[in-house]
């Protein structure tokens, strides 16, 4: 017993014990942080799981060529404004009676359910297919119903159609009178990655829970 006591009282032994205890504590803290991060990170979905959520991702994202549109604040919007964050694009118009308000409502619910850092990494844009009636003021008023951060884009039909073709989207006005007409357009949500590339699509019907889960997975695996 006396010998054991002398060993434990040895300054070198005490120092080694303290170092071992400190090392174990650091290792445990790192392990806890790693497990916590893994548990909090979005689950990576495979291709078939993504399709269950209506997400169709391209095998190879397509680079977009330069374009020039105008946002609802009157500023020029081009390819440069797509860089550095994810973008969800929807082609619609404020006088649309069905799919547009339904889709924008789901986008609003989805966006508001995201964490702050996720919101900062995602832009939501509605590109009008009815530039004659969707003035900047009208777009701003319409989009504010869903989320004040949402952006509206407009321009001449030639510029709008050129951008739509790049995103494999189409639209066509159906005139029934000077002020009474509808516009046939795609109902897909288009996903553009932070490199300004066409990354994939989400097909309707949309549910904000599924849309959020799928986008988080795509973002995490990018």
Shared domain check, 129 and 73 = yes
Model pLDDT, residue 175: 72
**Chunked mean pLDDT (size 10), the chain, 222 residues:** 57 59 48 39 93 97 98 97 98 96 98 98 98 96 97 97 96 76 95 98 95 98 96
Which SS3 state, helix, strand or coil, does residue 113 take? coil
Work out how many domains the chain is built from and give that number: 2
Residue closest to 203 by CA, chosen among 86, 106, 127, 63: 106
pLDDT at 180: 77
Same domain, yes or no: 106 and 29: no
pLDDT value of position 28: 43
* Confidence (pLDDT) at 62: 97
Q: What's the CA gap between 9 and 160, in Å, rounded?
A: 81
Same domain, 34 and 94: no
Of 166, 216, 222, the residue nearest 194 (C-alpha): 222
How confident is the model at residue 32, as a pLDDT?
A: 39
pLDDT score recorded for residue 141 = 97
Q: Which domain holds residue 55?
A: 47-221
Q: Residue 208 maps to which CATH number? A: 3.40.30.10
User: What does DSSP say about strands 69-71 and 76-77: parallel, antiparallel, or unpaired?
Assistant: antiparallel
Residues 95 and 8 in one domain: no
Residues 23, 93, single domain; the answer is no
| pLDDT number for residue 37 | 38
């Amino acid at each position: 017993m006396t010998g054991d006591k002398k060993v434990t009282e040895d300054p070198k032994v005490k120092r080694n014990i303290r170092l071992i205890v400190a090392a174990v504590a650091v290792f445990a803290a790192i392990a806890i942080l790693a497990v916590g991060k893994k548990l909090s990170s979005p689950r990576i979905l495979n291709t078939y799981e993504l399709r269950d959520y209506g997400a169709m991702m391209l095998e190879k994202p397509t680079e977009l060529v330069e374009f020039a549109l105008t946002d609802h604040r009157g500023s020029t919007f081009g390819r440069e404004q797509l860089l550095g964050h994810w973008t969800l694009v929807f082609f619609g118009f404020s006088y649309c009676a069905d799919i547009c308000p339904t889709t924008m409502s789901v986008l609003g619910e989805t966006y508001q359910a995201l964490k702050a850092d996720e919101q900062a990494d995602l832009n939501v844009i509605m590109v009008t297919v009815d530039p004659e009636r969707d003035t900047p003021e009208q777009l701003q008023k319409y989009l504010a119903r869903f989320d004040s951060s949402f952006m509206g884009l407009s321009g001449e039909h030639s510029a709008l159609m050129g951008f739509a073709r790049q995103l494999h989207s189409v639209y066509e006005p159906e005139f029934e009178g000077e002020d009474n007409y509808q516009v046939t357009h795609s109902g897909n949500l288009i996903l553009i990655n932070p490199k300004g590339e066409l990354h994939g699509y989400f097909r309707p019907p949309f549910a904000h829970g599924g849309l959020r889960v799928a986008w988080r997975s795509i973002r995490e695996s990018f």
